[in-house]
Amino acid sequence: MAMSRNLWNKKCKCPACGGEFEATRLRTSSIKVKSRESDFGSLYEAECAYFYAVTACPHCTYAARNEHFDDLRLEYEAKIREACQKLKALPADRKPGIFEPGELGAEAAVKRHELAIAFARMRFHPDLSDLAGLHMHLVWIHRFTGQAEKERQAMEAAAKAYEEFFLKGHKLPEKLGEPGVLYLIGELKRRLGQFREARQFFEKALASREIKSFPNIESMTRDRMLEAKEQMEKVQGTLPAA
């Protein structure tokens, strides 16, 4: 089957094993956003950009987000080096069938993200921001494909990953800052029905010294905080009296 004109193949060299292969990318010009979500995710009209966000080597299975794939310094990553040596030695039929270039489905995209998460956790100094972002991609992929229960499970993992990132991360993303990360944790909690916890994180976001530098996030935080309050009151109103 011919590949969509929106896709193209890039020649890559794996930083973990040196193997050469082709990885499929989605043309930026073809990305059409249908709507943007309150947790910063996008819903797309055609191909889902998150499907093509991870590069995975077919030789040793090393995987990472496209923009980080070449960043690996193997001399400092003993766990990854050992894992990739073992995986490269496996016969092709023992490796997951998710490496072929071309159009990707949701199942392959999820498996590639799970591989990237596994390798990210093997790093000597894991990038907690990268890990949290990979978990958010899984949230958005499952939402795009209508997998509500899997989306919920991914949200739980993403909330935990962002809490760890906030507590231990060395540098917060410039586009979000401290208020944005706190807001996102709160929004994930709200979507999970954990309204009290959500409001606590929204309050922390609004109390941040940086909040005035992020007016859009401040506005979104106030809106979601009110929504969480209303949702909590609605749930409490349906509980039987003691």
Gap between the Cα atoms of 175 and 159, Å rounded: 18
Structure tokens at 146: 């209508």
Give the model's pLDDT for residue 4: 82
* 3-class SS string, the chain: CCCCCCEEEEEEECCCCCCEEEEEEECHHHCCEEEECCCCCEEECCCCHHHHCEEECCCCCCEEEHHHHHHCCHHHCHHHHHHHHHHHHCCHHHCCCCCCCCCCCHHHHHHHHHHHHHHHHHCCCCCHHHHHHHHHHHHHHHHHCCCHHHHHHHHHHHHHHHHHHHHHCCCCCCCCHHHHHHHHHHHHHHHCCCHHHHHHHHHHHHHCCCHHHCHHHHHHHHHHHHHHHHHHHHHHHHCCCC
Q: What is the pLDDT of residues 51-83, one digit of tens each?
A: 999 999 999 999 999 999 999 999 999 999 999
Gap between the Cα atoms of 77 and 83, Å rounded: 10
Tell me which residues of the chain have a pLDDT lower than 70. 1-2, 238-242
Give the model's pLDDT for residue 240: 56
Give the model's pLDDT for residue 242: 47
Question: Could you give phi then psi for residue 226, rounded to 5 degrees?
Answer: -65, -40
Task: Please report, for the chain, the start and end positions of each structural domain, with discontinuous segments joined by +.
Answer: 1-158, 172-235
